[in-house]
Each structure stands twice: as structure tokens, then as C-alpha cells.
Amino acid sequence: MDKTALNRYFRNIFLFLIFCFGVWAERTGYIEEMAYYQEDVIYLAGEHLYLTLVSGGLAVLTGVPLGIYLSRPKMAQRAEASMQLLNIGGTIPTLALLALAMSVLGIGNNAAIFGLWVATLLPIVRNTFTGLRSVPAHMKEAARGMGMTPGQMLRQVELPNSLFVIMAGIRTALAINIGTAPLAFLIGGTSLGELIFTGIAVDDQAMMLAGAITTALLAVVIDFALGLLTMAFVSRGVNPLRQRTA
Amino acid sequence: MITLDKLTKIFDTPNGSITAADHISMEVPTGEICVLLGPSGCGKTTTLKMVNRIIPATSGRVLIHGEDTSQMNTVDLRRNIGYVIQQIGLFPNMTIEDNISVVPKLLGWSAEKYKKRALELLDLVALDPAIFLKRYPSELSGGQQQRVGVIRALAADPKVMLMDEPFGAIDPINREVIQDEFLKMQKELQKTILFVSHDIDEAVKMGDKIAIFREGKLEQYAAPDDLLAHPANDFIAGFVGNDRTLKRLQLVTAGEVMQQNPSMVTLDQPLDEALQLMESRDLEAVTVVNREQKPIGMVRREIAQVHRGSCRDHHDGLPTVIYQDDDLRSVVSRLYRVDASWLPVVDGEGYLQGVITQRGITHHVGATYRTQA
Ligand SMILES: Nc1ncnc2c1ncn2[C@@H]1O[C@H](COP(=O)(O)OP(=O)(O)O)[C@@H](O)[C@H]1O
Ligand SMILES: [Mg+2]
């Protein structure tokens, strides 16, 4: 069984489990109870998405250039050390990160966005860096030997050939981001965390589930959208999901 | 013309410095292929890459058509030199058309012009544009990729090409085919080419000149036949191999060695005329031709001596014929296979042009040795 077939297999199991969960939710009356929170869910999902898109967008806009910068030949000496530093940064628990952000930026969305930005940055920088570094040396030499400037080489050869890996990093990053955004509630940010944590606090299962399920749904939708973007922007010649060989 | 003038490269490594190229001086005339040949690590690639400044020279100069390349803009220099590497280096994110068009685009050609050029070049290597233009490199076989690598280097019609073991990654059968194809193209294109190889057979086949390298030094620079006939030292003699005389055979065509104005008889001539001819010229056999002067058989002397009648009734078939353009190696191989001491030589249309004999071949190969001694 090849890799895509295996993926399909797991996806089907996953869909089946969701279906079972839906049946269970209907039977126990949770669906009805959750519908009660519909208005909150819609509003908070919007806010949640706002947090994610702003902090995630910032992470892409900063992480990709940072990854590119670290992958340049002139940085070769310092790049590994910088990546280690980022990795260590990545081990700071997100909650601690949010607490730190709050202590500097105060309570509210700004602190949340900052915390989420930091939490999201690492996978993007790491994938951009490793993606660019894994472009084979001979391919870059061919580009150089044909008379490309470093900028032309980056745009025409290096980025297109590592875009799949970079996109994978962005997908991971946004999945982390959406999953972490509920914590923003704890430092005064507005997100689906409001339903989840309040639901837990007042022991209202339906309220908690309404928040949790919507968060999961958002994650799936965003990942799907990024999957489509990957298919659209990664050249067929280097997309491992679209290989036909001679 | 490419001129290397005391070209030197010293790599500084943590384990001390390595002299990869040591005062290399040589000249490649316009329109010729010069093969840089030698064992692995002898500095061929380093020397090649100093020409397009992928590796900066420690000292010495490279001149292209008399112009010092160190005075030129590096990017412009490279865009005007075709570059082919062993790993091919096609860009997997680009279609074949885009790969071929890289340098033309860098040079600012119009879309119309570079698209037309891509079509032309695919035709040149017999890859159907309808099939291949929009394919990606991963959808091509190794041999097809290698061909695209070569035509990509030819795209902007550079006068000078650098090729680093360009056919090294292909299986031997395909390699022969691509080599032949390339030589045919080169006959028309007349590029000035530096070609790295570690394979003496490839060097003899492809090179107008061969430069033998050893540990960063240029040991001998000569035409293949010269190199094989007169290796300058034991290292070179060892490198070109004990069978170097046999290798020389592939450098010569049958047409160059055959005896012209061959003796022949027609089918209707009487046998005793054939016998007279053989006796007067001291031949063991004579070619029989039809009315169109195409060889169809031979009459042996011992048969003509004991029989009467016409050649038509007493000739034997020819085991095989040799074409003028066949190289001597294949001629010798066929002479041995059919156990013949001579065979008629024909031109492309099949008309008799001469005969080639084992003695004539031996004499030809020996001639270079005699002039030297
Ligand atoms: N970038 C480099 N740094 C240090 N030494 C090198 C470098 N490139 C090549 N060399 C050394 O230079 C010598 C010649 O290498 P090269 O020109 O690649 O040989 P060839 O192409 O003939 O096999 C070798 O000893 C090799 O190890
Ligand atoms: Mg080499």
C-alpha cells in the first residue's frame, strides 16, 4: 500500500469516527443543547479566526523571510546556532508564553496575538530554512553557472523547489495556532476559549463541546484551505502528491 | 578560442592547502572539443569551473577569444557560456520548455523567440515537442533528461560550452547513442568545448584534443591519435591502457586506409582474364562487380587456375562489405570474424571504392611509430 492510499485509509477511519460521534451527540440531545449557543459560537469563531489570521499572517510574513535569511550562504556559520536558539524558544510552554506576553502588553487581544505569533513562528522558520537548505547543491550550481543572480536563483529555483516543505510548515503552524488560540481567553483575548473554559468552569458540557468542536472544525477548514493553496502554488513537477514518473 | 594561462587553484582546507590546478596553460581552438581527462581528483572539474568562475582562480588567466574573462561581468560571462553538469541539474519545478528557456529569458529574449527556440532544440535531439514541452523533468527518462540538459546549454547559442562528465550518469548503451548524437550536432554547431571525462574511450571518441591531468598538472595535451601513439610518459601510457594501439583504430576510417582503384572483374568476363589480372598484380582474389560497379562477390586465384568459363559461374559470395566511413576497429573486428585478409570497401551508395587489407591496416598503424623512431 503506498503512502497516499494509507492516507486515504486513515482519513476514512477519521470520518467514520466523526460520524459515530455525531450519532452519539444526537442521541444524547447534545446537538440541541449546543444549538442554544449558536449565536455565541458564530461571533466567537469570527474572533478566533481573527486572532489566528492576524498572528499566523504575521508569523508567515516574518518567519518565511527569517528562514530565507538564515539559509543564505553568508549565514552558514551562524544559521545552525540561530536555529538552536529558536528551537529552545519553541520549548517554552505556550501558556507561559501568553503569561509573559500579558505581563508586557497587558490584558487583551494584543498580548494574545503576540503570544500566538511567537508560538507559530518556529515551524515556519524551521521548514523554510530546511526546505531551502535541502535544495541540491548541483541544482544551485547549474543555476549559478547559467548566469542567475542570487535573487533570480532564490525566486526561480530555490523557493519553488522548497515551497511544498514551506507550505507544510505553515500548515503545522496554523494548526498549532488554532489549537492554542482558546488559551487567549485566559489573558483577556476573545476566542472560542470563552465557551470552552466557561463551560468547564460552570460544568456545562454542551457549552464546552460547542467551543471545542467549533475549534476543531476551524482547524480542519483552515488546513483544507492551505492544502488547496499548496496544490495551486506548488509546481506539479515538485509536488510529491502529484508525481507521475517516466 | 579558449586560452588558459598559468591557471592555478589552491584550496585552503583545515588539513592544509591543496593545489587542485597547477599552472595550467593550454589553448582550445575555435570549433574544437578538448577533453580534460584524468583519474578522479586530478583537477579536471576545478579547471573547468575556473572558466565560468564558479570557482575563482587563485592565479592565472582565462581568455575567451583573446579577451580576459576577469575583466567581464561574471553574470554576463556565464550567460554566454553553455554549462552542462553530470547531475544534469534540470530544475524540477519547471517544465521542459521553461528549463530550456532559462538563459534566453535571462538574456531578455521575447516570448515568441524563446518558445520557437525550445521547439527547434527539442527537434534537434529527436524529442517530440508535442509530448515533451509541457512535461516536467521527473517525467523523463535519464537519457531524455540528459539530452534536455545539453540543449538547455545550447539554448542561447553560446560560442563556448563547458561540459563536466555530461554523459557520465547514463547507461553505456544510451551513452554511445547520445555521444554520437552530440558529435553529429557539433559537426554543424562548431562550438568551442571543454569536456571533462575520466573515460579514455569517451575522450578518444569525443575529443579533437585531449588534455591529460595528473594531480593538478597538465601532463600532455595532444590529438587523440598522437596521445595513443606517443604517450609522453609511463603514467599516461598506463592511463590510456595497453590496448592503446587498438584504440587508435577507431580514430581512422576505412576510406583513409583502403587501396584505391581496386582491381575488379565483371560477371561476364572470362575466368582466365581474372587469373591474368591476379597474377600480374600478385593477388589471391579479386572482386567481382555487377554492371553498376557494385561488388557482388569474388573470384579466388586457386579456382581461376583450375577452372574455365566466366566469372559468373565461378565466383564466391562476399562475407560482408566495408563502408568507407566505418572505423578501423569495426573493420578489424569483421575481418577476424569472417576470417578474411581483405574486403572490398564501398561508398554510401554501395559502389566499389577500394579494398582494405589486414596488411594495409598494420602498415597504417605502424607508420606513426616509424616516423617517431
Ligand atoms: N571546494 C573544495 N575545497 C577543498 N578541496 C577541493 C574542493 N574542490 C575540489 N577540491 C580538491 O581538489 C582536487 C581536485 O578536485 P576536482 O577538480 O574536483 O577533481 P576531478 O574533477 O578531476 O575529479 C581534489 O583533491 C579535491 O579534493
Ligand atoms: Mg570532477
Examine the pLDDT at B208 and tell me if it is beyond 90.
Answer: yes
Mean pLDDT of A175-204: 93
pLDDT confidence of residue B372: 60
- The CATH 3.10.580.10 portion of chain B extends over 254-367
Report pLDDT digits (tens) over B77-97: 999 999 999 999 999 999 999
CA separation for the pair B276, B279 (Å, rounded): 5
Confidence grade of residue A25 (pLDDT, cut at 50, 70, 90): confident
Examine the pLDDT at A87 and tell me if it is beyond 50.
Answer: yes
More confident residue, B213 or B291: B213
Report the first-to-last Cα separation within chain A, whole angstroms. 21
Mean pLDDT of A121-136: 95
Lowest mean pLDDT among A50-54, B14-18, B293-297: B293-297
Sheet bearing B59-64, strands edge to edge: B16-28, B2-13, B59-64, B67-68
Measure Cα distances from A161 to A148, B91, B155, B156 in Å.
Answer: 16, 8, 23, 24
Residue A2 sits in the same domain as residue A82: no
Residue of A nearest to B73 (CA): A147
Measure Cα distances from B305 to A223, B279, B314 in Å.
Answer: 96, 10, 11
CA separation for the pair B210, A188 (Å, rounded): 77
- Evaluate whether residue A111 is within a structural domain: yes
Residue A103 sits in the same domain as residue A162: yes
Q: Helix (H, G, I), strand (E, B), or coil: what is residue B169?
A: coil
Which residues approach ligand 1 with their CB closer than 6 A?
A: B 11, 13, 18, 20, 38, 40-46
Mean pLDDT of A197-209: 92
A117: left (phi over 0), alpha (psi -120 to 50) or beta: alpha
Examine the pLDDT at A187 and tell me if it is beyond 80.
Answer: yes
Contact A246 B76 (CB under 8 A): no
Examine the pLDDT at B368 and tell me if it is beyond 80.
Answer: no
Residue A25 sits in the same domain as residue A133: no
B254-367 fold: CBS-domain (3.10.580)
Residue A19 sits in the same domain as residue A97: no
**Ligand 1 center from residue B47 Cα (angstroms):** 10
Mean pLDDT of B201-219: 95
Number of structural domains (chain A) is 2
- Evaluate whether residue A193 is within a structural domain: yes
pLDDT confidence of residue A10: 84
- Evaluate whether residue A132 is within a structural domain: yes
pLDDT confidence of residue B307: 87
Query: What value of ipTM does the predicted structure carry?
Result: 0.85
Q: How many Cβ atoms sit within 10 Å of the Cβ of residue B305?
A: 12
pTM equals 0.85
Q: Helix (H, G, I), strand (E, B), or coil: what is residue B68?
A: strand
Residue A50 sits in the same domain as residue A148: yes
Query: Which H or E run contains B356?
Result: strand B352-357
- Evaluate whether residue A6 is within a structural domain: yes
- Inter-residue contact B35 to B197 (CB < 8 Å): yes
Residue A9 sits in the same domain as residue A79: no
CATH number for the domain that contains residue A112: 1.10.3720.10
Q: Which CATH architecture has domain B2-249?
A: 3-Layer(aba) Sandwich (3.40)
Residue A43 sits in the same domain as residue A27: no
Residue A111 sits in the same domain as residue A176: yes
Examine the pLDDT at B218 and tell me if it is beyond 50.
Answer: yes
Confidence grade of residue A22 (pLDDT, cut at 50, 70, 90): confident
Mean pLDDT of B182-207: 95
Confidence grade of residue A214 (pLDDT, cut at 50, 70, 90): very high
pLDDT confidence of residue A117: 94
- Evaluate whether residue A245 is within a structural domain: no
- Inter-residue contact A125 to A66 (CB < 8 Å): yes
CA separation for the pair B194, B42 (Å, rounded): 16
**Mutate which: A138, A140, A146, vs B, most B CBs within 10 A:** A146
Confidence grade of residue A1 (pLDDT, cut at 50, 70, 90): very low
B85 contact residues in A (CB cutoff 8 A): 138, 141-142, 145
pLDDT confidence of residue A21: 86
Going by DSSP bridges, is the β-strand pair B16-28/B160-164 parallel, antiparallel, or unpaired?
unpaired
Tell me what the pLDDT averaged over chain B comes to: 92
DSSP B278-292: HHHHT-SEEEEE-TT
CA separation for the pair B119, B145 (Å, rounded): 16
Residue A44 sits in the same domain as residue A161: yes
Q: What percent of chain A has pLDDT over 70?
A: 97
**Ligand 2 center from residue B198 Cα (angstroms):** 8
Interface of A with B in 216-245 (CB under 8 A): 235-238, 243-245
pLDDT confidence of residue B235: 93
Domain of A221 in residue numbering reads as 37-240
Residue A28 sits in the same domain as residue A138: no
- Evaluate whether residue A157 is within a structural domain: yes
Nearest residue to B224 via CA among B197, B200, B243, B259: B200
Confidence grade of residue B149 (pLDDT, cut at 50, 70, 90): very high
Residue A27 sits in the same domain as residue A114: no
Q: What percent of chain A has pLDDT over 90?
A: 64
Examine the pLDDT at B159 and tell me if it is beyond 60.
Answer: yes
